[in-house]
Amino acid sequence: MSDAMQQPDFDCLVFIGRFQPPHLGHLAVIREALKRARQVIVLIGSAWQARSLRNPWRFEERRDMLRSDFNGADNARLEIEPLLDALYNDDVWVRDVQRKVRDIARPSQGKQGKLPRIGLIGASRGQSSYFLSLFPQWESVSVPLVDGISASRIRERLFHSRNSASDYLSTGAAHDLPANVHRALNAFHESEASQQLLEERQLLEQY
């Protein structure tokens, strides 16, 4: 029986991350979520932060990069929403996540009036593992981490220097990034915004 014909385990699975940038590890989690739930809610953190070396891509850019590697049927089951940071205040942040999920999650047909079965999905260690512990009312689904892929290391290679970014995009990025994200980052590498971030990195190193 195909995945599309199998009865999903959950009405909704929630995946929280910053996706700076989206990489193959993120896609592995979302693909597993699509197998196990009718609806997948992706919440993108640091949504409205100004562009910086830690947050190079705006919410809309990250949303579009994520959607670019899924087909129309999968995208119809994906809800991708921005999530504000609440620094040093987990309670405020947790309430914001709960409110967003409550507003978006839908019960399956024939279960009107019943609460949807919701789970939180993430990689088995790191920040996603911490997120899983904050929502004890939801079931947790842990996906094995894709070894060797790190968004922070990707950013380091992209914004260390122009030569480093060019070398990475031409030789190493295909091991870390989905094809459409790779293309988007190649285009971003030629942009004024990328140049400004590279200049910011150089200034930081000087001082």
- Alpha-carbon radius of gyration of the chain: 18
Region class of 39: left (phi > 0), else alpha (psi between -120 and 50), else beta: beta
How much is the pTM?
A: 0.90
Average pLDDT, the chain: 89
Compute the average pLDDT of residues 16-34: 96
Does 3 score more than 50 pLDDT?
A: no
Beta bridge partners of 118: 12
3-state secondary structure of 8: coil
User: What pLDDT digit, counting tens, does each position of 57-109 carry?
Assistant: 999 999 999 999 999 999 999 999 999 887 667 889 999 999 999 999 987 66
Q: Which amino acid is at 138?
A: W
- Bridge pairing between strands 118-123 and 78-82: unpaired
The pLDDT assigned to 195 comes to 96
pLDDT tens per residue, range 132-184: 678 888 999 988 888 889 999 999 999 999 999 999 999 989 999 999 999 99
Q: What is the pLDDT of residues 112-145, one digit of tens each?
A: 667 889 999 987 665 555 676 788 889 999 888 8
Q: In the prediction, which pLDDT does 86 show?
A: 75
Of 29, 13, 12, 112, residue with least CA distance to 66? 29
Predicted confidence (pLDDT) at residue 2 exceeds the cutoff of 50: no
Q: What is the reported pLDDT for 175?
A: 92
CA angle 71, 72, 73 (to 5 degrees): 95
129 Cβ neighbours under 8 A, 6+ residues apart: 122, 123, 142
Instruction: Using the CB atoms, write b or e for 60-76: b if 16+ within 10 Å.
Output: ebbbbbbeebbeeeeee
DSSP 173: G
- Residue 173 is predicted with a pLDDT of 93
